[in-house]
Chains A and B, each alone.
Chain A
Amino acid sequence: MTQGGLQPHAGSVDVVVIGAGHSGLAMSQYLSARNIEHVVLERGEVANSWVRERWNSLKLLTPNWQSRLPGYPYSGPDPDGYMSMPDVVGFIKAYANHCRAPVITNSEVTSVLRAGNRYRVDTGSYQWNARAVVIASGAFNLPSIPPISRDIPSSIVQLSTRDYRYPGQLENGGVLVVGASASGVQLAEEIHASGRPVTLAVGEHVRMPRVYRGKDIQYWMHVSGVLDQRYDEVDDLSRGRNVASPQLVGTHNRRTLDLNRLTAQGVRLTGKLAAVRNGKAQFSGSLRNVVKLADLKMNRLLETIDTWITDSAARETLGPAERFEPTRLPELPCMGLDLSGGEVRTVLWATGFRPDYSWLHVPVIDRKGFIRHDGGVAESPGLYVMGLPFMRRRKSSFIHGAEDDAAELAAHLAGYLDRTGSGHLPRRRVV
């Protein structure tokens, strides 16, 4: 397949895809396969946020064998390893070349408007007129920092996981890490090991072993169908869409990183950061319950896996079923911490991200700032979104989740173009 004959004529194009990350490129691949004329507008370079907005030691939470994009599986030497950020960037850039995606880099979209039955897409220097738009600009653009950050004394340095790179960047002294998702636990460990004593504020979280019965936990979630669960078949979709990333880390020895491990290393666990008053951080008394919820939920997942193994009569030799030690907590958990006393120098917000749609002037944004959509089909004809958590499936925001979603949304989009297609130029065929 070639893109040679598909260069859009100036300014007018059937489809604009916003963002050349894994989601936008996967969509581009399926549009190309259907000979649908499109461009992919990228604010920076391909895989931009993987290049610029991640900390140095970060590796993917999914093993290499799982990293695949449409028609492009991982083919490297270490299927059970985990990609570093340069690896991810290399993988996505190689994919962009492989599928000859019509990417225009350094072309940041500043506005999208509905104009008649088309969309007007502005970049700083150029205006596109498109029949359909696919928003693949990511779900993790802006750090979600709670308003209580304003009550933290000015003597404390605050930063988010987007700006954090490595421990040496922080002042010497204590660090309060807020949030115990994958980012929070990874950074708590790394920063504590650098000699900066860490207090970790723990709200609701997801606990999992890295390896279960000899295989990566992602393998079990993959084969047992957990990752393929569809958005229209779960009880509480909004919960599924808002759940924190699991406490996992990608390391060469595939070790588990959970709260017990952090406790053993000397990290102090507290409840969720509930308020800051007169320079004093107050932690929630819900720690025991959130830990219990996570332990119970982990055991339910392991039970699902055990049942799946029994039912599928797996013939390979697997490790025995296992249950892990419940999360240990101190007898008297720390309920408050004086932030002006000098013990803590830095607050690191590992409280997640939200998308930035400040440029989207189509009335599809709900009161919480998210796009209203049904499995990626937004409430405006011809407008689509890609790569959001649990958008169509539990795996939607993963790299390997883009394939199925892009295939289905490209089919929907093609149907839309066909239905509304009177008067447009016949599509050129590509061999």
Chain B
Amino acid sequence: MSTQEAVVDNGVNVDALLDAREGLTDAPEAAQFKWRASSEWISGTHTESVVESFFGLGEEQSHRSAFHYDTDHPELFASEDKGATPVEFLLVGLSGCLMAGIAAVAQHRGIQLHSVKASLEAGMDMQGILGIDSDVRNGFDNIKVRFDVDADASKEDIEALVAQSQKRSAAFDILSNPTDIHVEVRKDG
């Protein structure tokens, strides 16, 4: 048996994250971030959205490049299916957030990940959004997430990893707790 401890590398710079945590504890103003997206209706149910700038650490920031996303509805709703549905984007956001958390927590706990796969499924009763039954909500009934994780850790440690990721996840919080939404309208032209 090697006396040298294996170096765990999940591609996460935990030291930088811990430094950021310490820095932002002392400077709560710098911890105030704004996340943004801008969108433009194209046609029918097709919308194109762009994510580029955000605000944080007290100043304007931007991604390395602008990211473009199309949302649409599938053809069975008589749409052209030029992109995932908006609610599927919510699932994408949730899994992306949980994955990032799993990698960071695993790195912090010294757990080497080999493969992490998630499949997500959300139930929805279309009678809600179609206005057929006012007792049915528009949104998901529930979200089911299954993680398949190959890592150098016990089953319990892997479960704890995934649980801790949920506890610290922004997307999980946004989907599991109410958020106040303020919509303002301006008339152009």
Q: Which residues of A contact B50 (CB under 8 A)?
A: none
- The contact of A286 among B28, B166, B178, by CB within 8 Å, is B166
- Would you call B125 an interface residue if the criterion is a C-beta within 8 Å of the partner chain's C-beta atoms? no
- Would you call A292 an interface residue if the criterion is a C-beta within 8 Å of the partner chain's C-beta atoms? yes
Sampled A-B contacts (29; CB under 8 Å): A204-B167, A271-B176, A272-B177, A274-B177, A274-B178, A275-B177, A275-B178, A282-B177, A282-B178, A284-B176, A284-B177, A285-B175, A285-B177, A286-B166, A286-B167, A286-B176, A289-B166, A289-B167, A290-B167, A292-B159, A292-B163, A293-B163, A293-B164, A293-B167, A296-B156, A296-B159, A299-B156, A300-B156, A367-B28
A-contacting residues of B (Cβ < 8 Å)? 28, 156, 159-160, 163-164, 166-167, 172-173, 175-178
Closest residue of A by beta carbon distance from B179: A275
CA of A290 to CA of B167, assembled, Å: 8
Q: Which residues of B contact A282 (CB under 8 A)?
A: 177-178
Q: Given A286-B172, A299-B156, does the pair A277, B163 have CB atoms closer than 8 Å? A: no
Q: Which residues of A contact B167 (CB under 8 A)?
A: 204, 286, 289-290, 293
Q: Which residues of A contact B164 (CB under 8 A)?
A: 293
Chain A 249-298 residues near chain B, CB threshold 8 A = 271-272, 274-275, 277, 282, 284-286, 289-290, 292-293, 296
Q: 18 extra interchain contacts, Cβ-Cβ under 8 A, other than A285-B175, A286-B167?
A: A204-B167, A272-B177, A274-B177, A274-B178, A285-B177, A286-B166, A286-B172, A286-B173, A286-B176, A286-B177, A289-B163, A289-B166, A289-B172, A296-B156, A296-B159, A296-B160, A300-B156, A300-B160
A332 CB to nearest chain B CB (Å): 8
Q: Which residues of A contact B159 (CB under 8 A)?
A: 292, 296
CA of A299 to CA of B173, assembled, Å: 26
Q: Which residues of A contact B175 (CB under 8 A)?
A: 285
CA of A282 to CA of B175, assembled, Å: 13
Q: Which residues of B contact A296 (CB under 8 A)?
A: 156, 159-160, 163
CA of A292 to CA of B163, assembled, Å: 7
CA of A6 to CA of B45, assembled, Å: 84
The listed residue with most A CB atoms (<10 A of its CB), out of B160, B164, B167, B176, is B176
A179 CB to nearest chain B CB (Å): 16
A304 CB to nearest chain B CB (Å): 13
Q: Which residues of B contact A299 (CB under 8 A)?
A: 156
Q: Which residues of A contact B166 (CB under 8 A)?
A: 286, 289
CA of A275 to CA of B176, assembled, Å: 11
CA of A282 to CA of B160, assembled, Å: 27
CA of A68 to CA of B173, assembled, Å: 43
Range class of the A interface residue count: 10 to 19
CA of A114 to CA of B132, assembled, Å: 69
Closest residue of B by beta carbon distance from A367: B28
CA of A193 to CA of B14, assembled, Å: 49
Closest residue of B by beta carbon distance from A296: B160
CA of A296 to CA of B163, assembled, Å: 9
CA of A118 to CA of B164, assembled, Å: 47
A177 CB to nearest chain B CB (Å): 19
The listed residue with most A CB atoms (<10 A of its CB), out of B164, B166, B175, is B166
CA of A272 to CA of B173, assembled, Å: 12
A91 CB to nearest chain B CB (Å): 38
CA of A367 to CA of B31, assembled, Å: 15
Q: Which residues of B contact A285 (CB under 8 A)?
A: 175-177
Q: Which residues of B contact A290 (CB under 8 A)?
A: 167
CA of A151 to CA of B173, assembled, Å: 21
B178 touches A277 (CB 8 A): yes
Closest residue of B by beta carbon distance from A238: B25
Q: Which residues of A contact B178 (CB under 8 A)?
A: 274-275, 277, 282
Q: Which residues of B contact A272 (CB under 8 A)?
A: 177
A155 CB to nearest chain B CB (Å): 22
Closest residue of A by beta carbon distance from B140: A285
CA of A289 to CA of B167, assembled, Å: 7
Binary contact track A122-160/B, C-beta < 8 Å → 1, others 0: 000000000000000000000000000000000000000
CA of A87 to CA of B160, assembled, Å: 40
Binary contact track A359-383/B, C-beta < 8 Å → 1, others 0: 0000000010000000000000000
CA of A204 to CA of B166, assembled, Å: 12
Closest residue of B by beta carbon distance from A277: B178
B11 CB to nearest chain A CB (Å): 22
CA of A293 to CA of B168, assembled, Å: 12
CA of A299 to CA of B155, assembled, Å: 13
Q: Which residues of B contact A284 (CB under 8 A)?
A: 176-177
B40 CB to nearest chain A CB (Å): 31
CA of A313 to CA of B73, assembled, Å: 65
CA of A204 to CA of B173, assembled, Å: 14
B152 CB to nearest chain A CB (Å): 18
Closest residue of B by beta carbon distance from A291: B163
CA of A367 to CA of B172, assembled, Å: 27
The 8 closest A-B pairs by CB, nearest first: A285-B176, A274-B177, A275-B178, A289-B166, A293-B163, A296-B160, A286-B176, A292-B163
Q: Which residues of B contact A275 (CB under 8 A)?
A: 177-178
CA of A25 to CA of B78, assembled, Å: 77
Q: Which residues of A contact B177 (CB under 8 A)?
A: 272, 274-275, 282, 284-286
CA of A255 to CA of B176, assembled, Å: 34
Q: Which residues of A contact B156 (CB under 8 A)?
A: 296, 299-300
A247 CB to nearest chain B CB (Å): 18
B99 CB to nearest chain A CB (Å): 16
